[in-house]
Chains A and B, each alone.
Chain A
Amino acid sequence: MARQLDRRDFLKTAAAAAGGVVAGSGITGFPYVMKFRRSWAASNTVPVGSLLDKTGGINIYGLPAIAATEYAVNEINAKGGLLGKQLELIQYDTQSDIANFPKFAKKLILEDQVVVIHGGITSASRESFRPVIDEYKQLYFYNIIYEGGVCDKYVFVTGETPTQQMGPLAKYALRKYGTKAYTVAADYNFGHISWKWWDIFWRNGGGLEPVAGGKRGSHVGKVEFIPLDVTDFNATINRIQEAKPDVLMSFLVGGAHINFYRQFAAAGLKNKIPIITTTFGYGNEHIVLDAKEVEGLVAAYPYFDELDNPQNRAFKAGMKKKMGNPDYYIGDAGAESYNGWWFWAKGVQKAGSFEREAVTKAMESGIEWDSPMGHVKMDPASHHVIFTVHLAAVNDKHGWKVLESFPNVPPTETMQLCDLLKNPDQHTQYQPK
């Protein structure tokens, strides 16, 4: 559905924009500048934008997010649209190439005049176009698990942050496996910042502050940062064997890194060194790999297809029908994109407007609802979501078995640093000191 702007479109847009100015001045009595942007004001559709990687190494996350995005927009439209308008979804394939994000973000804002942008996958891609978002004061939703700390008046985040995953994972691993951890991480801002947080959580026994009474973790070997295009992990795997950790923490990302788990299992280590992770399964890696290669690997997410609640039953049935595949696995990436769109839709409904300031104000009233992942609540001050987190292990049927659930986990590390109500003029990302 990529849309190119040709001359005819341009003329139409220009004419419509001019019409908008006239209509606007007719109603309000003065042509105010916002009206000029809104060429859709007189139309019965409203453009909304999505930037996700449909192709390339990051598409293991992009494809489920795109499927859920289309599903959510269709669902909103089927329920009558928003404020009497149908959503017109404009998607660009960012091709796992960072350079495409600022380019297409500008296109969505200036040419397509979308009222909201959802998307961005890797933190590198998000940070590449967040300056564009800030420059044009564009409402933006980032619906992906990430390293936390984004504090931006124009940005809402529906994915999970370090506290929501690393807290539960650290406590579980310390209890079950032992105190010595080895860490492998993707070599870009996500991996590096995640490692800093993980060091804090692991050495504190699962909290931002030292957890009283519990065990404390320590590191063996050095953290290893691995570029996204590395496919051969022979040396890394041998270094892990040499360090003899009780548990391996993985922040690996993307299609090439899937090979790590396969090569790790092929070296016969799967039953010797347990793996915990904040990323495995997010791209449905457990579907690609053989069950016996990754069975028992433990991850923490707010959503697994295996969750049982009425909203999730409907979501799963609908997605399976849309994809024409009775075995389709949605995964956390899909569920978070779906939630992102619905959070926005509820914000628009509450605001009675598509304008950024009105929607932001409505979102900051603390929108909460029952989603497929259970009850979710937008934290007004940090623009992040509070939800129930589940620890689960890969089972023998390309699925997950939920081990433990932690209700209403807040994104504490970001909430501690970020208060957009008190100090609204922030457009930054906080990192651990």
Chain B
Amino acid sequence: MGLDTAAMLGLEILNSITILVLLALGLAVIFGMMRIVNLAQCEFFTLGAFTVLAATRWAGLPLWAAMCLAPVVVGGVGIVLERLVIRPLYGRPLDVMLATWGVSLLLVGVITVIFGAVTQGVPFALGSFRVGQYQYPQYRIVMTTVAAAMMAGLYALFRYTAFGRRARATIANPEMAAAMGINTPRMFMLTFGLGAGLAGATGAILAPIVGVVPTMGALYIARAFITVVVGGPVVLLGTLSSASVLGFIEALISRFSLFTIQTGGHCTPPPCQISIGGSAFFGQIALLIFAIVLLRLLPRGISGFRRAGQ
């Protein structure tokens, strides 16, 4: 393997990890911290992407401004959703699932009515750079940078600000937090809005590389949940480590053929063999298998040895 091929493999792994981190961040807050199983989470991605589409196409905003607008809009939607739907249902996880599933269908419906069920695109802004014999899109590096910044920002927010301390206190023990004078309903609402906003940002970041369509969220939601569940109770560290492990496996198996199985009969073109590994399909399978094995060995997730809430 040449130096450039190795560098490309490194970039592919980084890209897989980046996408998993981006998908998992909002969910890590809403599901990982607040323990709300929000089935409308994938529509937050979709809303983020459509915010970019609408802002660039109708309001004529530049792409970057539209991307900054997306988390604000989606965070707002999240806050409204928490107020109207989720708040009466705290402590009733099955009802929350049912209600948010309804919201998910509603959001897809509304987006379809406004934008149509057609696949649309947000044109790409950046070029590519050269690594030996390869070329690689610059935008992928921007994505990684943004994901790292979001991760660091989230850590700083929860670790060093008054809001973060209150939010953590509220989630760890709502009664005690309320007794200490924290407005706990407000903290729940804002934390939920934060999680929605992060998912909205993810949708906006993904918009230029994927097709924007009302049902796009469903393509990502499984990987988001898997990453958060494998991550375990320590939200940020867990998400980062599970995204790293799973992204590494996915990129590696997508790239390399592990072994080939010889099959009988007559083939065009010969020889008759099925190659295991070396395609996106096996990358996804490897990710799922590895997640199952990890959860079997570490039922509480990678960060399960740490106490929750840290």
Q: A residues bordering B, Cβ < 8 Å?
A: 54-57, 59-60, 63, 187, 196, 199-200, 203, 219, 222, 224-227, 229-236, 238-239, 241-242, 244, 255-256, 258-259, 262-263, 265-269, 272, 283, 288-290, 293, 432-433
Contacts and interface: CB of A to CB of B under 8 A. Distances in A.
Contact of B119 (A196, A255, A433): A255
B126 A266 contact: yes
A322 B165 CA distance: 59
Contacts of B12: 234-235, 238
Across the A-B interface, give the 5 residue pairs with the lowest CB-CB distance, nearest first: A268-B128, A266-B137, A255-B119, A235-B254, A290-B123
A109 to B, nearest CB: 27
Contacts of B119: 57, 59-60, 255, 258, 283, 288
Contacts of B133: 241-242, 244
A268 to B, nearest CB: 3
Given A55-B112, A241-B134, A232 B280 contact: yes
Given A59-B117, A267-B137, A268-B128, 20 more contacts: A56-B117, A60-B119, A63-B118, A199-B269, A203-B269, A219-B269, A227-B280, A229-B219, A232-B15, A238-B12, A255-B119, A258-B211, A266-B128, A266-B139, A268-B135, A288-B120, A288-B121, A289-B121, A293-B124, A433-B268
B137 A224 contact: no
B213 interface: yes
Contacts of B127: 266, 268
Given A242-B5, A268-B127, A231 B210 contact: yes
Nearest to B281: A227
B118 A290 contact: no
Tier of interface size on chain B: 35 or more
Interface-central residue, B118, B136, B279, by most chain A CB under 10 Å:
B279
B283 interface: yes
Interface in B236-273: 251, 254-255, 266, 268-269
Contact of B15 (A63, A225, A234, A258): A234
A432 B8 CA distance: 37
B140 interface: yes
B269 A231 contact: no
A57 B279 contact: no
B124 A235 contact: no
B266 A225 contact: no
B215 A56 contact: yes
B209 interface: yes
B275 interface: yes
Contacts of A227: 280-281, 284
Contacts, number: 125
B19 interface: yes
27 contacts: A57-B119, A59-B119, A199-B269, A200-B268, A226-B279, A227-B281, A227-B284, A229-B219, A231-B209, A233-B280, A234-B15, A236-B280, A255-B211, A256-B210, A258-B119, A258-B121, A266-B124, A266-B127, A266-B139, A267-B137, A268-B127, A268-B128, A268-B137, A269-B135, A283-B119, A288-B120, A290-B123
Contacts of B283: 235
Contacts of A234: 12, 15-16, 140
Given A55-B215, A226-B280, A290 B275 contact: no
A419 B16 CA distance: 51
Given A255-B213, A262-B124, A290-B124, A241 B117 contact: no
Nearest to A200: B268
A207 to B, nearest CB: 15
A253 to B, nearest CB: 12
Contacts of A222: 275, 278
A262 B112 contact: no
A272 B128 CA distance: 13
B133 to A, nearest CB: 7
Contacts of A229: 219
B281 to A, nearest CB: 5
Contacts of B211: 231, 255-256, 258-259, 288
Contacts of A288: 118-121, 211
Contact of A235 (B19, B117, B255): B255
Given A241-B133, A259-B211, A265 B140 contact: no
A147 to B, nearest CB: 14
Contacts of B124: 262, 265-266, 290, 293
A290 B275 CA distance: 35
A227 B282 CA distance: 10
Nearest to B257: A222
A88 B67 CA distance: 47
Interface in B81-116: 112
Contacts of B281: 187, 225-227, 230
Interface in B186-226: 208-211, 213, 215, 219
Contacts of A225: 279, 281
Contacts of A60: 118-119
A263 B211 CA distance: 11
Contact of B121 (A230, A236, A262): A262
A219 B119 CA distance: 32
